[in-house]
Amino acid sequence: MQHIIDRFISYVTVDTESDPNSDTTPSTAKQWDLANKLVDELKSIGLEEVTIDENAYIMATLPSNVAHDVPVIGFVSHFDTTPDFTGANVKPQIIENYDGGDIILNAEQNIVLSPKYFKDLLQYKGQTIITTDGTTLLGADDKAGITEIVTAMEYLLQHPEIKHGKIRVGFTPDEEIGRGAHKFDVAKFGADWAYTMDGSQIGELEYENFNAAGAKITFKGKSVHPGYAKGKMINSMLIANKFITSLPKNEVPELTSGYDGFFHVTGITGSIEESVVQLIIRDHDAKKFKKRKKLIKKITDKINRKYKKQFGGDIAIAEVKDQYYNMKEKVTPVFHIVDIAEKAMKDLGIKPLIKPIRGGTDGCQLSYMGLPCPNIFAGGHNFHGKYEYVPVESMQKATDVIVRIAELTAKAKK
C-alpha cells in the first residue's frame, strides 16, 4: 500500500494541466516534466523498448515469459490533467481508516468532502483515502491509472512465476482536451488489443461511450445608437439567447443519465455586433447523434430565414465538428477482450460494473484507429475538481486486475 501511495503522490505533485488553446503536442511544456520522469522510472523497474517521441507519447515493453505464441496486449493511461480546475501545487491528504464522516479538506476556506453529498464515500469506510486540500484537483484522472500500470509491470517483473505474454505500456498527453490519441502510433504499439485504466469507481468496465461533436455558432448583429435603433438594430446576444432557448430544455447534462444524450452549452461571448455560443453534443446512439447535429442546423436555418431580409444574409453560422465515436462498434466483434477483463475482476472478488461511459477516453479513438480498447476502473471519484479523491485499496485492486488479465491472456490462443 505505501509503495502505491508514494508512487501516486510523486505523480500528482507534478503539474501537467493541458491547454485546449494550444496548438502544440503536448499542449503545455510542463507535461514533459512527468513524461521524462516516467521514462526514467519505466527503465529503472526493468521494462524494455522504453521510448518517448517528439510529442511525448511514451511506450514500453514487458517481454513475454511463455514459450507459446499468445496475444500482445496493452495498457494505456494519460498523464495530463484537466484545464477545468487547477492542478498546480497539489497537496494530497491521506485519510487512514476513513470513519464514514465528513472530511475537512480546508478548514480555513470551509471546504468539506461530505458523504451527505458524495454518497459514494460510504462504500470506502475503513479504507485509506487520498484527497485534495480543497484548493486544487487531485489528478487521480489519470495518474491513478499510471500508478497502477507501472506497479503491475513492476510486480510481474519481480514475480516471473506469473506467466504472461508480451505486454505493451502506453502513456499519452492531452487526453483531457480530446487529443490524447491523435498522434498515438498504433502500428508502433503493436498490440492486438489494449485497456485504458481511466475509469472511476472500483469494478467499472466500459466498452460503450458517447458519440461526440463540438459546435460553434456565430451570430451577427447590427449596432445602432439605441435612441434611434427601432427597426434597425439587431442585437446578436438576443439572437444567441433565442438559439439556446430553442434547444430541448430537458436534454442537458444536469438532467440526464445512463444512455441519455444531451446538448451542453459550454461558453458564450457576445456584443451587439457578434456573439458566439460554444456547445458539445453527446449521444450513445448513432442515429440520435446524427439527429442532434441536424437539429443545430434546423434551428440556425430558422433564425436565418427570420432575419435574412433585415440583415441581408445569414445571421447565424454553425460549425459542427465530430470529436469521437462510440467504441462499441469496434469492440463488439472482439468481445472476448471484455470477457477477459470481466473474468479477471470476478476472479479477484470484484463485482464488475458494466455501464456506458458518459464521456470518452483515449480508448474510443484508439478503437477506431485499429486498437480495440475497453476501459477499466482506476479508482478515483469526483474528477476535475477540488472534491476529487481516490481510495488506495481501489488502486491496489486495479493493479491486481492488470496482473490477472496478463495471466488470463497467457492462456489464450493467438
Q: Which residues pair with 194 in a beta bridge?
A: 74
CA-CA distance, 316 to 296, in Å (whole number)?
Answer: 11
Whether omega for the bond prior to residue 80 falls within 30 degrees of 0, making it cis, is no
Cβ 288 vs Cβ 248: under 8 Å: no
Catalytic residue among 80, 133, 204, 206: 80
Residue among 133, 148, 175, 206 flagged as catalytic: 175
List Cα–Cα distances, 57 to 290, 322, 347, in angstroms: 33, 24, 33
406 vs 32: CA distance, rounded Å:
29
What does the alpha-carbon distance between residue 101 and residue 122 come to, in Å, rounded to a whole number? 8
Task: Tell me the three state secondary structure of residue 321.
Answer: strand
Q: Is 175 a catalytic residue?
A: yes
384 annotated among ligand-binding-site residues: yes
Tell me if residue 305 falls in helix, strand or coil. helix
Is residue 80 part of the annotated active site? The answer reads: yes
Q: How far apart are CA 67 and CA 44, in angstroms?
A: 26
Annotated binding-site residue? 388: no
Bridge partners of residue 150, in order along the sequence: none
Residue type, 310: Q
Strand partners, 270: 275
Tell me whether residue 176 is annotated as binding: yes
The count of other CB atoms within 10 Å of the CB of residue 224 is 15
- Entry field: residues in the chain: 414
Is 84 annotated in some ligand binding site?
A: no
User: Annotated binding site, which residues?
Assistant: 78, 141, 176, 198, 384
Residues classed as catalytic? 80, 175
User: Annotated binding site for Zn(2+), which residues?
Assistant: 78, 141, 176, 198, 384
